[in-house]
């Protein structure tokens, strides 16, 4: 399967991350934890992240797999 990870970094420190396997945001700093709580309660934001997995990741993976299979 495909896993989509969207990380938000501030001053070279990862603040918050969306992981499609978990299906929610996880905060790694005090600020990130607060944002994760807010973003996880917003179905629109979660939906946008899941849409990235479907529209961008899976679409490009299909193209990559096809290119690999064409060469074998």
Domains along the sequence of the chain with CATH: 5-70 (3.10.320.10)
What is the tens place of the pLDDT at every residue in 27-50? 999 999 999 999 999 999 999 998
- Residue 11, pLDDT score: 93
What is the tens place of the pLDDT at every residue in 5-30? 999 999 999 999 999 999 999 999 99
Q: What is the rounded average pLDDT of the residues 44-67?
A: 78
Tokens of 35: 């944002």
Query: pTM of the prediction?
Result: 0.72
- Residue 53, pLDDT score: 79
d(CA 34, CA 15): 10
CB atoms within 10 A of CB 26: 14
> 69 pLDDT exceeds 90?
no
């Amino acid at each position: 399967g495909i896993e989509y990870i969207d990380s938000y970094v501030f001053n070279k420190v990862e603040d918050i991350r969306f992981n499609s396997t978990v299906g929610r945001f996880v905060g790694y700093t005090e600020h990130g934890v607060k944002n994760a709580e807010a973003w996880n309660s917003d179905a629109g934001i979660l939906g946008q992240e899941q849409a990235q997995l479907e529209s961008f990741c899976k679409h490009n993976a299909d193209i990559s797999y096809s290119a690999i299979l064409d060469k074998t």
